């Protein structure tokens, strides 16, 4: 029986959801989860959404899923998943290096010390100045 708004009663929606769950394969759900992890992890590697801890969690999760689902996927889909993980790992390494580079260039490098302990030579001046 439908209510005044044309929606199915609660019991029917639970039954429909149960039927839909029966039709879903675990491998399909894992592929969907992997797709979401790839999208979200990639987003966390760039721009103002950059969060390397979250990106690393996505990458590590994908690396754990990949060998488990490889045998359940077509060769093409398994290779695509592997390429996506490899691409994210490369982007992660680049993001880490980019994060370190500004910090390294902002700090002034100390002047090298002479080996014999003498003070560095003064700037040469021309005679008559």
- Taking only the tens place, the pLDDT of each residue in 39-90 is 999 999 998 889 999 999 999 999 999 888 888 888 898 899 999 999 999 9
Region 86-104 average pLDDT: 87
**pTM of the predicted model as reported, rounded to 2 decimal places:** 0.65
- Are 44 and 52 within 8 A, CB to CB? yes
| Helix, strand, coil percent content, the chain, rounded in steps of 5 | 65, 0, 35
pLDDT at 27: 81
Q: Which residues contact 99 (CB under 8 A, 6 or more apart)?
A: 52
Among candidate residues 44, 80, 75, the one with its CA nearest the CA of residue 59:
44
pLDDT at 69: 84
């Amino acid at each position: 029986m439908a209510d005044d708004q044309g929606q199915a009663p609660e019991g029917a929606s639970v039954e429909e959801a149960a039927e839909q769950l029966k039709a879903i394969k675990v491998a399909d759900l894992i592929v969907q989860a992997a797709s979401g992890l790839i999208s979200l992890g990639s987003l966390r590697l760039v721009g103002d959404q950059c969060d390397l801890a979250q990106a690393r969690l996505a990458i590590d999760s994908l690396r754990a899923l990949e060998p488990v689902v490889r045998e359940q996927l077509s060769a093409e889909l398994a290779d695509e998943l592997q390429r996506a993980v490899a691409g994210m790992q490369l982007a992660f390494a680049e993001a880490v290096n980019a994060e370190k580079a500004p910090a390294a260039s902002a700090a002034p490098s100390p002047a090298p010390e002479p080996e014999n302990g003498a003070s560095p030579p003064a700037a040469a001046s021309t005679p008559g100045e």
